[in-house]
Chain A
């Protein structure tokens, strides 16, 4: 089956005063219909830039190479009219802070009407608009939607605002939603509600979702597949159950080992030493080598290629963690 969105060797660099800085360095990614794919990594790993490239929202100083295909057709990426038609109706994106997405001096209603009008070429009556807006707000579980239409964003809580943003996004009925840290600014109980809403969108509307997050817990509970990025490259990629139970790349392993668990406090945290290098200070070889406990001489000279752990689980490392006994058994049975 044809993937909805496909990236082939996507490279994004930014032209700066000091010359080009590579930020995304050869990403291959496919998103199928009705899938939730988690994109994880530390800040500066290129997750957001990858998503912005797919949306055609990169700044003018960005240099893009490689291919992005939407349902098999190559996307004309930068600032194209065709792109703006696609945006909203096929591809939609929501961001971390709903307050900066919403206009603070317009009512929720007015902003929703605008989103609906853009996606409906024929003129709609005021009454029809209002009915549609109320439907959308009900779809995303906003309580007492009639009153919210007249409210301004500052009168609603962060969780409600994020629901309103999702409602605006639904006006175009897109097939792919890119959610960039949609719950980071929210409390855990509200985060749980928003995550439930995203899962509902997938099961009811068959929407595909790319979930960009640094919260591995959120990924484990919501995603089908997970893509781990480091310094603009994909280092590990596979079904959530396999990657989390048996991470092969030392970076994935490090991310999981630095996570405090709510169900046990006895284990020691093993943080990854050091910090993510600046994109213009990348050394030769594997980008993770300077922070890697397994790094050997070969890691500093050549870049590791993607290899298969099994048919679905891929990683790029010269000295990976071994396949653990549990998953070997699961594989055999």
Chain B
């Protein structure tokens, strides 16, 4: 058994990401023999996830949220920065050293059919991680897997089925069970419900909340759907072009967004309430390519508030007293709350 912790203090965050960077080589070169262009998919991302909380990472496609998750799990190569998990550095860890850690950190992908083995029954899929980590004997494995599958809402007659025989929601339940069978501390969910129908989405959201309560899970929840994140998470970080532009308690961030990008993003969400058509903050154009980010603040070409300073200087994430951080020169921070 791995010791659960090396006596961390109660306040120390479970996961501490600081200045994480990832650059991909582009196929384009400077000149004929020149160096490849670099695409900075994740460019200096820092955040902390405390034990037991649900942390949301939101942003539009291409903002680097999935890459961030993959960097944490060593599924992509970080070009800089550090990821501390209970004080242990994860960046640059060998494959061997990772193996026991994989039990503690599990990942759920968007497409459940892609994550499941088409030739294994549901029960076998959930037993497999236990076999890989050489836990329990065969009988116990079967018992544990059956129990867990029941608690994610699958019935006995479904355990002998193959993934293609299940519906999308049921498959995602199997994927969840397979991630949870190892009793992880941190579950990273990358768009786990985007491929599902609304009513099934709600079933999975409720299931995640129940499991969190029952198992004391810590959740890093990645999504482009802000309403879901608001519903599920206590703290939220908003990413734009590889950087975090705003971070804070979910309620506060959604009620009083401070970064102009967050404001536009929230106003763009259609509300299922015909009475109150909200005033939209129009966002011109589309996110620029991370291959050629603009100078200064990365949001300045689309920002209505942009000034000369925004075009030249890069704003840093500044935290105010209420744990609400924003990277913007023009953001209105309530005066009383500035630390």
Chain A interfacial positions (CB closer than 8 Å to B): 42-43, 143, 157, 159-160, 187-193, 195-196, 214-222, 240-241, 244-245, 254-263, 265, 268-273, 275-276
Cβ contact of B205, chosen from A43, A195, A260, cutoff 8 A = A260
B200 A220 Cβ-Cβ under 8 A: no
Contacts of A157 in B (CB 8 A): 286
Instruction: Enumerate 18 A-B pairs (CB-CB under 8 Å) in ascending A order.
Output: A188-B224, A188-B268, A192-B270, A193-B283, A196-B280, A220-B272, A220-B273, A244-B272, A258-B198, A259-B202, A259-B272, A260-B202, A261-B231, A262-B230, A263-B271, A268-B206, A269-B202, A275-B167
Contacts of B283 in A (CB 8 A): 189, 192-193
Cβ contact of A192, chosen from B205, B230, B280, cutoff 8 A = B280
**Interface assignment of B227: CB less than 8 Å from any CB of chain A:** yes
Identity of the chain B residue whose Cβ is nearest the Cβ of A45 in the assembled complex: B197
A271 B202 Cβ-Cβ under 8 A: yes
Q: Which residues of B194-227 are within 8 A (CB) of A?
A: 197-203, 205-206, 224, 226-227
Cα distance, A137 to B280, chains bound together (Å): 24
A261 B227 Cβ-Cβ under 8 A: yes
A221 B270 Cβ-Cβ under 8 A: yes
A143 B60 Cβ-Cβ under 8 A: no
Contacts of A263 in B (CB 8 A): 271
Asked whether A42 and B198 contact (CB < 8 A) given A259-B272, A262-B230, the answer is: yes
A66 to chain B, nearest CB (A): 27
Contacts of B254 in A (CB 8 A): 262, 265
Cα distance, A256 to B200, chains bound together (Å): 12
Identity of the chain B residue whose Cβ is nearest the Cβ of A269 in the assembled complex: B202
Cβ contact of B272, chosen from A160, A216, A269, cutoff 8 A = A216
Asked whether A187 and B224 contact (CB < 8 A) given A258-B199, A262-B230, A271-B200, the answer is: yes
Asked whether A262 and B226 contact (CB < 8 A) given A215-B270, A271-B206, the answer is: yes
Identity of the chain B residue whose Cβ is nearest the Cβ of A159 in the assembled complex: B286
B274 A191 Cβ-Cβ under 8 A: no
B237 to chain A, nearest CB (A): 17
- How many A-B pairs fall under 8 Å by CB? 126
Cβ contact of A255, chosen from B60, B199, B203, B224, cutoff 8 A = B199
Asked whether A42 and B199 contact (CB < 8 A) given A261-B271, A262-B226, the answer is: yes
B332 to chain A, nearest CB (A): 21
Contacts of B272 in A (CB 8 A): 216-217, 219-220, 244, 256, 259, 261
A262 B266 Cβ-Cβ under 8 A: yes
Asked whether A188 and B271 contact (CB < 8 A) given A160-B286, A269-B205, A271-B199, the answer is: no
Contacts of B203 in A (CB 8 A): 258, 271, 273
Name the residue among B170, B227, B264, B274 with the largest chain A CB count within 10 angstroms: B274
**Interface assignment of B145: CB less than 8 Å from any CB of chain A:** no
Cα distance, A268 to B200, chains bound together (Å): 15
Contacts of B273 in A (CB 8 A): 220, 244
A-B interface, 10 closest residue pairs, ranked by CB to CB distance from nearest: A217-B270, A258-B202, A271-B202, A260-B231, A187-B60, A192-B268, A272-B199, A271-B203, A42-B197, A269-B202
Cα distance, A218 to B273, chains bound together (Å): 10
**Interface assignment of B250: CB less than 8 Å from any CB of chain A:** yes
B61 A217 Cβ-Cβ under 8 A: no
**Interface assignment of B154: CB less than 8 Å from any CB of chain A:** no
